[in-house]
Structure 1
Amino acid sequence: MKIALVTGAGRGIGREIARQLVEHGMTVFAGVRNESHAPEGTRPVLLDVTDGGQVASAAKTIGEEFGRLDILVNNAALCGDFGVAPAEVTAEHMRVTYEVCVFGVVAVTHAMIPLLRASGDARVVNMTTRLASIGLTSAADDLNAEWPMLAYNSAKSALNAITVLYANELRESGILVNAVDPGHCATDLTGHTGTRMAAEGAAVALRMATLGAGGPTGTFSSEEGPIPW
């Protein structure tokens, strides 16, 4: 049986990813800030990704019980500058957003790497967005014009770079690391403005989480296919 951890699993896309992994017969640790918010069938674990103690405790819990982790989905996110024009974004907007979307991902991944290595066939999925694409942002398409979030978009660009660096180092351990865009989903993060349901957004993450041996690593994609960096 595969062992999975999903951060930010208490709501939205993360909750759906955790639920769908359970449906695939996996033991799923739901990283939540309130255990009562964990999806049915999951194993709740208190996990604020900005809390080093909770990150270490989650790794210890999984390690002591299973000795390995087969799937890590870094889903927890925060948009500290929703609705704020780029010129109005402050350093504090950046700090708050990067703390969760960048430093939190590194903290959790770093803590779980020994367990991922122990799997020998692990998968890491980093939830990002096409708004992080430098290529698409440069093209100034309609989506980027509508959502010009300096802190959030650049934090996810950093996450894309982190994805590639982890992928390059960990591929020889059989660990595949990929970044995925779930699309514009109606969740709390987007103020429920999206046109897709959270369950639809979870699909691409589930596909990458269940890749077979020899699958891609270090990629950035959506359900429609590759996205330019």
Structure 2
Amino acid sequence: MQTKRYALITGANKGIGFETALQLGRMGYVILLGARNELKGEEAAQLLVNKNIEAHSIMLDVTRQATIEAAVSQIKQKFGSLDVLINNAGISAGGATPPSQISLEDIRKTYDTNFFGMISVTQAMLPLLQQSSAGRIVNLTSGLGSLAFNSDPTHEHAQFNLLAYNSSKAAVNMFTVTLAKEFRNTPLKINSADPGFTATDLNGFTGLGTVKQAAAIVVKLAVLDENGPSGGFHGHGGELPW
């Protein structure tokens, strides 16, 4: 009978991903640390091992299908199944370039990681997650992906008019909703997590929250019991408007 629980986190060698790995590892999960840079992934995994956490580096670039397939094979052969998938990897190409001027190249680059990469990884890992008695998928999104917040000129998020990033996160939310509907009659639970405006290299460390605070909502959704929600958009204060 399987006693270990395995959690794969993409983009986990730094920032929110690494802190999530740390918190889940302290809860007894075996951490499969996904990183597109093999050396950085191994260094991050060793940091966890030094804290008495079982961690393994998985070379995984969400924009390269060959690395995704290799990761699936590696996890299947070494661990047999997967209990948690946290789709954390994300970028913001084009930054604050106005919607009328941002290049299609930057929009496509953002979507390749934030949306298409997330779908590719999830679809590939689903057979492993379905072998778990309580599979959990957490998709990292953002309050900036909320249409309600963006269309409210008085909301604090309205000032961040980022076409590529915001729309990619809105798309992530739709992926969460549709996938959760597909698996609503199974043990799988799929949710979107808004970690808040966190100080990471994605925003030049201008965020107001810490990675420790950000990871808390991700971990909460990763360890839901059988009565927990699925198909929701969750922040630190509860459910958020789409």
Q: Which of the five TM-score ranges fits, normalised by the shorter chain? A: over 0.9
| 1:11 corresponds to 2:14 | yes
Partner of 1:112: 125
Aligned to 1:31: 34
State the TM-score, normalized to the length of structure 2.
0.92
Q: How far apart, in 2, do the equivalents of 1:68 and 1:108 lie? A: 15
Q: Structure 1 residue 81: deviation in Å?
A: 2.0
Residues 46-125 of structure 1 mapped to structure 2, 5 A cutoff: 46-125=59-138
Q: TM-score, normalised by structure 1?
A: 0.97
Indicate if the aligned counterparts of 1:126 and 1:180 stay in contact, CA closer than 8 A: yes
Deviates more, 1:121-130 or 1:27-36: 27-36
Is the contact made by 2:149 and 2:158 (CA closer than 8 Å) also made in structure 1? no
Question: What corresponds to 2:183 in structure 1?
Answer: 170
RMSD: 1.1
Whether 2:44 is the aligned partner of 1:45: answer: no
SS of structure 2 residue aligned to 1:174: coil
Query: Could you report, residue by residue, the CA deviation over 1:13-71 in whole angstroms, capped at 9, with x for unpaired residues?
Result: 01111111111111110001223432423210111100101000111111112221100
Q: Secondary structure at the match of 1:87?
A: coil
The corresponding residue for 2:52 is none
- Following superposition, the deviation at residue 4 of structure 1 comes to 0.5
CA contact (8 A) 1:7 1:76 kept: yes
Match status 1:137 vs 2:150: yes
Give the match for residue 195 of structure 1.
208
* Equivalent-residue separation in structure 2 for 1:21 and 1:170 (angstroms): 24
Give the 3-state SS of the residue equivalent to 2:81 in structure 1: coil
Q: Which residue of 2 aligns with 1:216?
A: 229
Give the whole-Å Cα distance in 1 for the aligned partners of 2:86 and 2:19: 12
Matched letter for residue 157 of structure 1: A
Q: Note the residue ranges of structure 2 that are not aligned, 5 or more in a row.
A: 50-54
The AA in structure 1 aligned to 2:19 is E
Q: Distance in 2 between matches of 1:137 and 1:145?
A: 5
Contact 1:120–1:173 (Cα < 8 Å) also in 2: no
**How many residues get paired?**
229
State the alpha-carbon separation in 1 of the partners of residues 203 and 192 from structure 2. Answer: 19
Q: Percent identity?
A: 39
Question: Which residue, 199, 207, 227 being the options, matches 2:220?
Answer: 207
In 1, are the aligned partners of 2:17 and 2:88 still within 8 Å (CA)? yes
Q: 1:102–1:159: 8 Å Cα contact kept in structure 2?
A: yes
The runs of 5 or more residues in structure 1 that have no matched partner are none
Aligned to 1:2: 5
